[in-house]
Amino acid sequence: MIIVTGGAGFIGSNLVRGLNKRGLDNILVVDDLSDGDKVRNIESCDIEDYMDKDEFLKRIEQGMEFGGPTALYHQGACSDTMETDGRYIMQTNYEYSKSLFHYSGGHGIPFIYASSASVYGGGEVFKEEPENEQALNAYAYSKLLFDRYVRKNRNVSEAQVVGLRYFNVYGRGEEHKGRMASVAYHFFNQYHEQGFVKLFAGSDGYANGEQLRDFIWVDDVVDVNLHFLEHPEDGGVFNVGTGRAQSFNDVATAVLNTLEGAQKTTEQWVADKKIQYIDFPEALVGKYQSYTKADLTNLTMSGDYNKTFATVEEGVKSYVEQLQAGK
């Protein structure tokens, strides 16, 4: 059995779907379905069973075997970077993760968990080393502290342990995330609601919409997760991005070109007033990453991973086409 926490969420449900495509259906999905809309992410998936996250925690603390899992994918978390309840974040993202880490170690189960590029804070070096890490908010701190905990306690398990630092992921199944959904998703909805898309004006020395992020399509993220399932000899903390920094303007332009069947530039869309800029929010000052770009050295060397990742133009086009088709 493969256990996937957060299996009804964005990346988790795509991972379950990816496992199904490989002929694997002996899957236990663990999640919190207080938001019942998330069932749409997994209703077409082939799984063995579902369990609430609190019940799952109670059972692993009791030492339940679950029939000898072959892997535990820990994707569940509070992913809201604007959440201010630090106690809730630490309980959900840190303490819960520690329990699963020790359970996996004690039972010799490969443990592959979701970390985050937010652990690099406002820095400009995105390599998996402590000197490059800092937290700009409670969410980032919960992820960073768990990475540090795993490093210090790695010897509790002889099984594989992998931390995946996701950069800006976009794609199918993120509708329930609300304000934390990707900008590609928000741009798609803005276009249909008002006929144009809104981007932040310039900040941190960047021109309007020119803040740079490493945007990665969720299908590529799933492929990385499955790569480590197939390579149990590889372990450690790995960045999961494209290794490219592209602008928010690039994302907006890809969305608009796909929706309108055009090949226009950002400047042309701005002239058409279909890209418009709004003031940078005060609430994000000092808490916002204006630049991210994954260093993929560890992934492509230690992780033996050599797949080419989709560009914004390629991945966003496929995603928007899925949204249009209602998939």
Known catalytic residues are: 139, 177
Do 142 and 148 touch, CB atoms closer than 8 A? no
Rounded Cα distance between 314 and 324, Å, is: 16
Place of tokens 């379950």: 16
Please work out, in degrees rounded to the nearest 5, the angle formed at the alpha carbon of residue 73 by the alpha carbons of 185 and 30. 80
Tell me the CA distances in angstroms from 67 to 1, 72, 97, 100, 108, one per residue in order: 7, 13, 21, 16, 13
Segments of the chain assigned E as strands: 2-5, 27-31, 49-52, 71-74, 111-116, 161-166, 168-170, 197-200, 212-213, 215-217, 236-240, 246-247, 275-278
H/E stretch holding 190:
helix 183-194
- Beta-carbon contacts of residue 156 (< 8 Å; ≥ 6 apart): 101, 102, 105, 106
Instruction: For residue 53, give Cα distances in angstroms to 68, 166, 319.
Output: 19, 22, 29
Give how far Cα 253 sits from Cα of 171, 208, 224, Å: 16, 14, 27
Unique residue bearing structure tokens 């926490």: 5
- Residue 233's CB: how many other CB atoms inside 10 A? 7
